[in-house]
Structure 1
Amino acid sequence: MKKSILNIALILALGTSLVACKDTKKAEEAAQDSIEAVEEKTEEAAEAVKEVTEDAKEAVEEAVDTLEEAAEEAKEATEEAAKDAKEAVENAGE
């Protein structure tokens, strides 16, 4: 009777370990799929960051160009106003 119980216990232990191996393979496959998904999302995120960085760089360059143009226009307007004021003073003195 003891041998029968031990044999049954041994068969159950082997059966459990074989099933556990299948589960381990499934778990390994699931882990590999997760790793691949994370790698893909990381690459997508890196590409998105690169695009945003390039867009920001272009926006900064455009803003600098706009500021330079505005400064030049302000300089010209100031020079013109100074010239007009000088002429007005000269004309008032005459």
Structure 2
Amino acid sequence: MTKWLQLAAVACVMLFALGLAGCSEEGPAEKAGKKIDQAVEQAGEQMQDLKDKAKKALE
């Protein structure tokens, strides 16, 4: 390989590695998404509990 081709290959690998490292950190959107997911899950569990209580009350 020529020197320029080797340099280009190394640069591409470094940019790819930096891109992967940047993706590993959670930003504010990811944190907000997790909180929303938890809230929806809790609401679903509460709805299931209410459904079970209503079913018992009707029996």
Give the TM-score taking structure 2 as reference length: 0.57
Q: Identity of paired residues, percent?
A: 9
Whose helix proportion is higher, 1 or 2?
A: 1
Residue 55 of structure 1 aligns with which residue?
54
Q: Which amino acid is the alignment partner of residue 48 of structure 1? A: M
Where in structure 2 are the equivalents of 1:1-94 lying within 5 Å? 2-25=2-25, 30=30, 33=33, 37=37, 39-60=38-59
Deviation (angstroms), 1:4: 2.4
1:46 and 1:16 map into 2 onto residues whose CA distance is 42
Q: 1:37-88, CA deviations, whole angstroms, 9 ceiling, x for partnerless residues?
A: 1x3333212211111222222223xxxxxxxxxxxxxxxxxxxxxxxxxxxx
Deviation (angstroms), 1:21: 2.0
Structure 1 segments (4+ residues) deviating >4 Å: none
SS at match of 2:25: helix
CA RMSD in angstroms comes to 3.0
**Structure index of larger Rg:** 1
Paired residues, what number?
A: 56
1:53 and 1:5 map into 2 onto residues whose CA distance is 67
